[in-house]
Structure 1
Amino acid sequence: MTDAPDYRDTVFLPKTDFPMKAGLAGKEPQILDRWARIGIYDRLRETRAGRTRFILHDGPPYANGDIHMGHAMNKVLKDIIVRSQSLLGKDAPYVPGWDCHGLPIEWKIEEEYRKKKLNKDEVPPAEFRAQCRAYAERWVAIQRDQFKRLGVMGDWEDPYLTMKFEAEAAIVNELLKFAGSGQLYRGAKPVMWSPVEKTALAEAEVEYEDIVSTQIDVAFEIVEAPNAPELVGAHAVIWTTTPWTIPVNQALAYGESIDYVLIRFNDFLDGGFDWPDHPALNRLRDQKWLLAPQLAEAFADRVSRAVRAELAADGIDLPGKLVPTEMDQIRSEKLAGAYARHPMHEKGGFFSKRLRPFLAGDFVTTDAGTGLVHMAPDHGEDDFLLCKANGLDPVFAVTADGMYREDWAWLGGQGSVINKKFVASNGPICTGLREAGALLAASDDFLHSYPHSWRSKAKIIFRCTPQWFIPMDRSANSGLPGAGRSAEVGAQSAPWAESETSSAPAASSNGATLRETALDAIERTRWVPEKARNRIHAMVEGRPDWVISRQRAWGVPIALYVHRQSGDYLRDPAVNARIVAAFQDGGADAWFAADHQAILGPDHALADYEVVNDILDVWFDSGSTHAFVIEARYGEGVRADLYLEGSDQHRGWFQSSLLESSGTRGRAPYDAVLTHGFALDGNGRKMSKSIKNVVDPLDIIRESGADILRLWVASVDYFEDVRIGKEILAGTSDAYRKLRNTFRYMLGALEGFDDAERVPVTEMPELERYMLHLLAGLDAELRAATDAFEFNRYARALTDFANNDLSAFFFDIRKDSLYCDAPGSAKRRAYRTVLDTLFHALVRYAAPILCFTAEEVWQSRFPSEDGSVHFLEWPEVDAGWRDEALATKWQGVRGLREQVTEAIEPFRREKTIRSSLEAAVTVPEMPLDHVLLEEVFISSTVTAGDALAVSRTGHEKCGRCWRHLPEVKEDGALCDRCAEVVDA
């Protein structure tokens, strides 16, 4: 028997050097090096010069530490959007930036000091600031390389840094704009304060954690009650979870809509136990207690626990709960004009001897506690406003580190107030109250959420201190008394002669307030997703005045001069110009080493002014970036098309930028804002080093390549929190592999293709025209997804098209024509023409997401040292390719094809039919000519019949194309087509 002829050399198999295995981890750095050699970013700016501009303004990360998954997700998403806008033909610059000032960096330097047992306060400020600057410079360089490795394309040679001199000058210039328009004041009011970092904090610098606190019930003896004499001698009961605020109590608040009750604990106990003669029980029985009746039962529970423990220490068992008995009903209006003694009136000096008034407060509820609230205006906003309205000023008893002032009569020099031992039920505060007979109950078991500094992780407090504020409810140049005023602070009582508060009325005659302007700007801004609008609207609508001062060393100073007599800060354009010039020449350091008389000039004497050295809130720094990045580079009045950050920035950068621009320009600095969620581990948990579930983007890049990470970012619903882990990344890698194989197939199938082979659309077979219809639909979908910033939708449409429409359908059907038809056949030429169109479209579509792979694909077909896929623009897709009638017909064909494939499958499993080429198919309808259906089904024959049926063909197999056809008379012989090709 002679061997069958070998026709392999006559088959036109795809040829390409494009490897199936990606090897991204090694290949991507080489691509980055080539991009750097050709100056891809600058050349793209030249190419797009004069085009419609799209500006995505980069929110600055802190320059302190390696990037994490949140950074990677954020930067990749920004890069995808910038590249997609560039693909649309726009000039889409990207200027990366860093936040270089403030607590995060300063804290790191202090940590280094603590390790060396050095005291930061003993280091010259200039030296300390230089160390902060060097630290920031180091991490900017590290993070820049890490971001570049992600494939993020931008102006890496000239990024913006808030610590550059020109940036610091711009920041102080923005501050002076607020000062010049009267939108700045110095006043005393409670702010979030970190005793560990010794500075005020912004809300965005605070996180909430569950803690267990000490809860106490304290009695205040009522000594005056002109509207309810029966109250004299009774005790008002307050409940608090911050015992350390009792030493600075100044009043008691009651609710005007709450009716109160006097109760007594008499001889009745649950269980019929006789009342023993014991001081703790006698005190409860002999006294009357004022509180809200709705809360009497819970109060009795707390008191019962406390008394039971006290009696147990004396060997007395108290088996039941104390039962309160109501006595007199007290309507809330009867509390007006009443006064109580401070529990420590005998030990606390003059401050504690002063009687405490009862004040009506609309914030008092019966949700918890006793329905009466003790007021410490130093340590609560409600307390401050209510007391201020009634002539009670803060006393500043607690110092920056959380200690009581040395001269404070009770607990002077003691603390810290956030120390658990200090505020515990056996600590000095509770011990003093217990000895005074005022502590009714105390337990260290109250679980609740409490604010912490996100940097030190330590608890914060609300503390009234002299701070600089931007008012939310005052219009610019309002002419209000004290506008632009900074009052002098005294030692104890009434320290602020002209203290401004957030309750100051707006002067509507002079225009909108900052709050009104910002809320209007929110409505004029596009929010993606739309629900973000309501979130930031609620935050701005209810936020207090913006505290912009910090008691730190590293940052931009509040460069103001305050007149020592009037308390007004200086507003002189000439002086302001000299301040800004000094910052341009020497940065923020220039302020601390300045010849202030020279800056003030001949019109003002330095002796008349206080030089302000507080540091600006870093959120003001970052909120001003639009001024020294967008406007400085692209022109005054230009604003960003898009801001994009995580959802936490509604209270951070989105809001500080909004307020800064609204206050200085009367509008938002952005046209649109996109919010993404957070990256969680594979189980949906927050990543934490302590539970060892951190997914490091740098590890992913080293192991799999950046394009895998980029495809993951594009594939997830990033508007919500997203998960990432090994299994999820395995799925992403599989999706990437399929896309890569699609490109590899097209590269091989298009080997040697040129324009001479091209076929007009009108001369193409229906299948090719149907594929162009689908491409036109894909193009419209991708454009819509780009406009909506929905790249998970974009990625899904692209991968589905590549997998379902191309690989599993079009390529599968046409591989026979590609391999076996003559090179000049009309069908093969039409197929390769459409493949070329698909290639040019798909490589562009993929480029924003798979920036490295798309470049590799493009260079594989069109090698050029100075060329790049990223110079290309969106593919030209002819709207005339849409043919709905044709599409409807072919959707039916595809549905029938799926049925045929399903019918063949059992024969495959039984090995009756090893390939669909061996199948003889009967179908109930013939939407196409039988020859075309045989190509679509990749079967031997197709005939019409009553029902769908499959059997093994009786035809022999062609030795070249392997099709089983009637004209093949013996196995291995050639069909007519193959014989013609071989003979040619």
Structure 2
Amino acid sequence: MADAPDYRDTVFLPTTDFPMKAGLAQKEPAILAKWAADDLYGQLRKARAGRERFILHDGPPYANGDIHMGHAMNKVLKDIIVRSQSLAGKDAPYVPGWDCHGLPIEWKVEEAYRAKKLNKDEVDPVQFRAECRAYAEKWVGIQREQFQRLGVMGDWDDPYLTMKYEAEAAIVGELLKFAETGQLYRGAKPVMWSPVEKTALAEAEVEYEDITSTQIDVAFEIVESAIPELVGAYAVIWTTTPWTIPVNQALAYGPEVDYVLYVCEDQNETVLGRFLVARDLTDQFRKRVEPSLLQGKSEHDTLIWSTREFYFGNALAGTIARHPMHKLGGFFAKPRPLLAGDFVTTDAGTGLVHMAPDHGEDDFFLCKANGIDPVFAVEGDGKYRADWAWMGGQGSVINPKFNGPEGPICTDLREAGALLAASADFKHSYPHSWRSKAKVIFRCTPQWFIPMDAPISVIPAEAGISGGGEATSSQESAETPASAGVTAGGNGPTLRGIALDAIANTRWVPEKAENRITAMVAGRPDWVISRQRAWGVPIALYVDKDGNYLRDAAVNARIVDAFKAGGADAWFTADHQALLGANYSAADYEPVVDILDVWFDSGSTHAFTIEARYGKDVRANLYLEGSDQHRGWFQSSLLESCGTRGRAPYDAVLTHGFALDGKGKKMSKSEGNVVDPLKVIGESGADILRLWVASTDYFEDVRISKEVLAGTSDAYRKLRNTFRYLLGALDGFSETEKVAPGEMPELERYVLNLLAELDAELKAATAAYEFNRYARALTDFANNDLSAFFFDIRKDVLYCDAPDSITRRAYRTVLDTLFEALVRYAAPILCFTAEEAWGTRYPEGGSVHLLEWPAVDAGWTDDDLRMKWALIRQHRLKLTGEIEPLRRDKIVRSSLEADATAVVYDAAQASLLRSIDFAEIGIVAKVDIVDGDAGVEAPAGESVRFEVAKTEYEKCGRCWRHLPEVVEDGALCARCEDVVGA
């Protein structure tokens, strides 16, 4: 028997240079280099000049280390949004930036000093600042390359840096705006303080970790009271910070709490103690102190507790106690009044709280209201002042041993007979510095504040500062607790009120984020803006001998000019008389040397990045950062702008979650669960990481692991294969081949309908910043509608129809439309792959990223057509399922070898199936459509069932279809004869 003819050369197989294997890790750097050589970012700015502008303002990362997965997630998401807005035809510049001041960098430079056993405090400040600047410059350069490797497109040649001279000048200029309107004051209030870093910290620089502390019950002897039986009894306090007892100045009771005189006796009715505690806490109190009261007694001895008297909280007014260490005299001999405090609860402890105004906000305000001032006993390093009568020169106060049951404080209290109980077993959450990871304390120090509740319009010039570290009476409203309300006495708008209004007028994505930041701003204390550090922008103010700061616009202008010329270093090397000018004497003023909170720096970036580049009063369309920035950059930017401009610096704010490991745990080097984005890029390419970002529900915390990335890689391969198929199938396609939609077969028109629906969905997802929705719609379309359906059905037409076949031309016309659309849709996410695909088809066509949104005709939408083909696809899916057992049992090798009978129980469905070539749609040899038996109910309520069997038709030797006109296996069908014969 002669060999069958070989028709392979007559089949129109797809041809393309676009490889199936991506090789992204090797290709992407070359694409980046081409973008840089062609100045793609500059080209895009020229192409979009004059268009509607969209500004995503970059929140500045710290320039102090290699990027981590959180950085990668954040920058990629920003880039996707910027590219999508550019695709929509807008002018969408992106100016990356870095936060270059403050503790993250200073701490690293100090580490180098400590490693050499050097003291940075002995180094000239300007020299130390120069080292900090050099350190920041180094990491800006490294991170810049790493961010660019992610495919992030922006103005990398001219980023904003908070340490640039013009930036430092702008920052101090923003500070001086607050000063000129009286929105600054210096006061002594407790702030979070790091004894390790020796500076105040902002709330955003603090993280909470679970610790175990020592809890103690301490007895304060009552020496005066309107209730005679209380004299000689003991008011008992409970605390988990024993180190604050040496600075105790009062006790607090709850005005509406019920108290009892709780008496303990031994078996001989000898009174061991009379204690004032809250009635609801007597059981807890008794369990804690009994072991101590039983010490030295027989194991058979028992204690008898009884409640002698009941007192309503307000009855304790006027009661005086004395400090357990009163014998030391001086400070410790002063009376300790019992004060009414609304914050006192019966959740834990004794219902009485010891007050140390140096170390607690409630303590500070209650004591201040009663004429009791802080004493500043604890130094910046966490040790007590050397001259302090008790514990002088000792510490550190955050040391667990120092606070422990056998530590010096508990030992002295025990010897004084005041320590009723002490145990190192109290578990709770406690604030730590997120830099040093050391515990922080609340510490009262003279600091500079921006008030939240002072009426901005009526703050007098002299209200800012008074001597002695306390605010003047005109500043009282700024020292009230946040709960005092949005306005101060209704005298004018406050920063809190303006900020809350701005929040309400801002779009928050997701919407629930509005509640989070509203609660934070409504309840936050005054903004402490001073730091006791060296690296940053100084609080460039002049303070006179009475403690008032100078408010003079001309002086301020000279300060700003000096910063423009020499940066913030100019303040430390300044001729202050020259800055003050002829109207003032430098001898009468002291320059402030505290450093600005870096959150004020980053909160001012809108001024020297957005307004400086795009015009006064221009604000960002979008800020985008992690959810932690509700208390960080989102809030500092909001407060800075509201205080100087009366509005938010942004129209919308998008919040994303954190990147966790595959088990949902925080990534940590110590845990060994870190997924390094640089390693992922080096192995798999940036587009894999970008697709992972886009595919996650990033409004919540997201997970990443090898397994997760493997799933992302699989999704990427399917998209890549879609492009590969399109490029191959369009080989040699020309404009003359195109077919108008009205002349196309129904299947092609249906796919155009699907494309129009996809187009609308992607536009909606872009507007909502929902790129997980965007990526899902794109991948589902490519996989389900195209690869598994349209391409599968039409591959026969593509391979085997004549080039001039109207069906083949219509198919290729639609493929051309699909390519032009899909390559653009994919470009914001798969920026490298889309560029590669575009360049493969159009080697001289420029960059895909210069293109705009595809021209998809909304008129292609046809609801009737969509509903019809949705039903056809359901039937096709059912038919495919029925064939699968035949394939599994090797009765047929492909669906082309199967015959199907559609038994139809519904006239409308019968008409539907007869209206098309269902054998072509189902990719089978033939489909017979028969009516179901009259009166026989459809199985399980279905309108169509399929019966399948192996066909008896012979196979065409060219197209491999089994058709009745094929006379013998390997012969040609009528269509193939025509094509080959032609």
Pick the TM interval, shorter chain. Answer: over 0.9
2:48 paired residue number: 48
Alignment of 1:810-825 (within 5 A): 810-825=790-805
Aligned amino acid, residue 344 of structure 1: M
Looking at structure 1, the residues matched to 322 and 474 of structure 2 have their Cα atoms a distance apart, in angstroms, of 29
SS in 2 for 1:237: strand
Summarize deviations over 1:680-724 as a string: whole Å, max 9, x none. Answer: 001111101111000000010000000000000000100000000
1:241 paired residue number: 240
Looking at structure 2, the residues matched to 482 and 341 of structure 1 have their Cα atoms a distance apart, in angstroms, of 39
Shift of 1:435: 1.0
Alignment of 1:776-791 (within 5 A): 776-791=756-771
SS in 1 for 2:620: coil
Q: More displaced, 765-774 or 930-939?
A: 930-939
Q: 1:263, 1:288 within 8 Å by CA — same for their partners in 2?
A: yes
Aligned amino acid, residue 502 of structure 1: E
Aligned amino acid, residue 261 of structure 1: V
1:554 paired residue number: 535
Shift of 1:350: 1.0
2:918 paired residue number: 933
Shift of 1:296: 1.0
Q: 2:723 aligns with which of 707, 730, 743?
A: 743
Alignment of 1:818-837 (within 5 A): 818-837=798-817
Q: 2:368 aligns with which of 364, 368, 388?
A: 388
SS in 2 for 1:949: strand
Looking at structure 2, the residues matched to 475 and 836 of structure 1 have their Cα atoms a distance apart, in angstroms, of 64
Structure 1 458/613 Cα, relative in aligned 2: closer, same or farther at 3 Å? same
Alignment of 1:236-315 (within 5 A): 236-267=235-266, 285-308=271-294, 310-311=295-296
Q: 1:395, 1:495 within 8 Å by CA — same for their partners in 2?
A: no
1:754 equivalent in alignment to 2:734? yes
1:63 equivalent in alignment to 2:63? yes
Looking at structure 1, the residues matched to 115 and 298 of structure 2 have their Cα atoms a distance apart, in angstroms, of 52
Shift of 1:324: 2.2
Q: 2:181, 2:459 within 8 Å by CA — same for their partners in 1?
A: no
Q: 1:486, 1:498 within 8 Å by CA — same for their partners in 2?
A: no
2:411 paired residue number: 431
Shift of 1:484: 2.0
Structure 1 386/30 Cα, relative in aligned 2: closer, same or farther at 3 Å? same
SS in 2 for 1:645: strand
Q: 1:488, 1:497 within 8 Å by CA — same for their partners in 2?
A: no
Q: 1:334 aligns with which of 298, 315, 338?
A: 315
1:98 paired residue number: 98
Q: 1:264, 1:324 within 8 Å by CA — same for their partners in 2?
A: yes
Shift of 1:497: 9.0
1:201 equivalent in alignment to 2:201? yes
Unpaired runs of at least 5, structure 1: 269-273, 276-281
1:592 equivalent in alignment to 2:572? yes
Summarize deviations over 1:846-873 as a string: whole Å, max 9, x none. Answer: 0000000000000000012x71000000
SS in 2 for 1:824: coil
Shift of 1:745: 0.3
Shift of 1:307: 3.9
1:28 equivalent in alignment to 2:28? yes
SS in 2 for 1:329: strand
Alignment of 1:913-932 (within 5 A): 913-923=892-902, 924=904, 925-929=910-914, 932=917
Q: 1:101, 1:163 within 8 Å by CA — same for their partners in 2?
A: yes
Shift of 1:286: 3.4
Aligned amino acid, residue 306 of structure 1: S
Structure 1 321/107 Cα, relative in aligned 2: closer, same or farther at 3 Å? farther
Structure 1 646/320 Cα, relative in aligned 2: closer, same or farther at 3 Å? farther
1:660 equivalent in alignment to 2:660? no
Q: 1:68, 1:696 within 8 Å by CA — same for their partners in 2?
A: yes
Q: 2:850 aligns with which of 856, 862, 871?
A: 871
1:325 paired residue number: 306
Looking at structure 2, the residues matched to 321 and 609 of structure 1 have their Cα atoms a distance apart, in angstroms, of 69
Alignment of 1:418-457 (within 5 A): 418-457=398-437
1:524 equivalent in alignment to 2:505? yes
Summarize deviations over 1:145-199 as a string: whole Å, max 9, x none. Answer: 0000000000000000000000000000000000011110000100000011000
1:977 equivalent in alignment to 2:964? no
1:605 paired residue number: 585
SS in 1 for 2:479: coil
RMSD over equivalenced CA pairs, Å: 1.5
Aligned amino acid, residue 286 of structure 1: L
Aligned amino acid, residue 953 of structure 1: T
Structure 1 949/320 Cα, relative in aligned 2: closer, same or farther at 3 Å? farther
Shift of 1:508: 5.9
Looking at structure 1, the residues matched to 867 and 209 of structure 2 have their Cα atoms a distance apart, in angstroms, of 58
1:278 paired residue number: none
1:961 equivalent in alignment to 2:959? yes
1:904 equivalent in alignment to 2:846? no
2:872 paired residue number: 893
TM-score (norm 1): 0.96
Looking at structure 1, the residues matched to 142 and 724 of structure 2 have their Cα atoms a distance apart, in angstroms, of 35
Shift of 1:758: 0.3
SS in 2 for 1:776: helix
Equivalenced residue count is: 958
Looking at structure 2, the residues matched to 232 and 904 of structure 1 have their Cα atoms a distance apart, in angstroms, of 95
1:230 paired residue number: 229
Looking at structure 2, the residues matched to 517 and 498 of structure 1 have their Cα atoms a distance apart, in angstroms, of 21
Alignment of 1:552-591 (within 5 A): 552-565=533-546, 567-591=547-571
Looking at structure 2, the residues matched to 140 and 731 of structure 1 have their Cα atoms a distance apart, in angstroms, of 33
SS in 1 for 2:798: helix
Shift of 1:935: 1.0
Q: 1:487, 1:499 within 8 Å by CA — same for their partners in 2?
A: no
Aligned amino acid, residue 265 of structure 1: C
Looking at structure 1, the residues matched to 239 and 302 of structure 2 have their Cα atoms a distance apart, in angstroms, of 22
1:402 paired residue number: 382
SS in 1 for 2:912: coil
Unpaired runs of at least 5, structure 2: 905-909, 933-944
Aligned amino acid, residue 922 of structure 2: F
Shift of 1:319: 6.2
Aligned amino acid, residue 796 of structure 1: R
Looking at structure 2, the residues matched to 956 and 465 of structure 1 have their Cα atoms a distance apart, in angstroms, of 95
1:344 paired residue number: 325
SS in 2 for 1:671: strand
Q: 1:503 aligns with which of 460, 465, 480?
A: 480
Q: 1:521, 1:668 within 8 Å by CA — same for their partners in 2?
A: yes
Aligned amino acid, residue 145 of structure 1: E
Looking at structure 1, the residues matched to 443 and 580 of structure 2 have their Cα atoms a distance apart, in angstroms, of 34
SS in 1 for 2:6: coil
1:188 paired residue number: 188
Q: 2:260, 2:279 within 8 Å by CA — same for their partners in 1?
A: yes
SS in 2 for 1:488: helix
Looking at structure 1, the residues matched to 969 and 423 of structure 2 have their Cα atoms a distance apart, in angstroms, of 94
Looking at structure 2, the residues matched to 838 and 776 of structure 1 have their Cα atoms a distance apart, in angstroms, of 11
Q: More displaced, 329-338 or 867-876?
A: 329-338
Looking at structure 2, the residues matched to 194 and 66 of structure 1 have their Cα atoms a distance apart, in angstroms, of 25
Looking at structure 1, the residues matched to 157 and 119 of structure 2 have their Cα atoms a distance apart, in angstroms, of 37
Summarize deviations over 1:784-828 as a string: whole Å, max 9, x none. Answer: 000000000000000000000000000000000000000001000
Structure 1 981/891 Cα, relative in aligned 2: closer, same or farther at 3 Å? same
Looking at structure 2, the residues matched to 163 and 411 of structure 1 have their Cα atoms a distance apart, in angstroms, of 42
Structure 1 774/585 Cα, relative in aligned 2: closer, same or farther at 3 Å? same
1:2 paired residue number: 2
Looking at structure 2, the residues matched to 172 and 495 of structure 1 have their Cα atoms a distance apart, in angstroms, of 23
Q: 1:183, 1:477 within 8 Å by CA — same for their partners in 2?
A: no
Summarize deviations over 1:11-61 as a string: whole Å, max 9, x none. Answer: 000000100000000000000000001000011000000000000000000
SS in 2 for 1:720: coil
SS in 1 for 2:609: helix
SS in 1 for 2:326: coil
Aligned amino acid, residue 518 of structure 2: H
Q: 2:463, 2:475 within 8 Å by CA — same for their partners in 1?
A: no
Alignment of 1:670-681 (within 5 A): 670-681=650-661
Looking at structure 2, the residues matched to 448 and 688 of structure 1 have their Cα atoms a distance apart, in angstroms, of 22
Aligned amino acid, residue 968 of structure 2: E
Looking at structure 1, the residues matched to 891 and 459 of structure 2 have their Cα atoms a distance apart, in angstroms, of 94
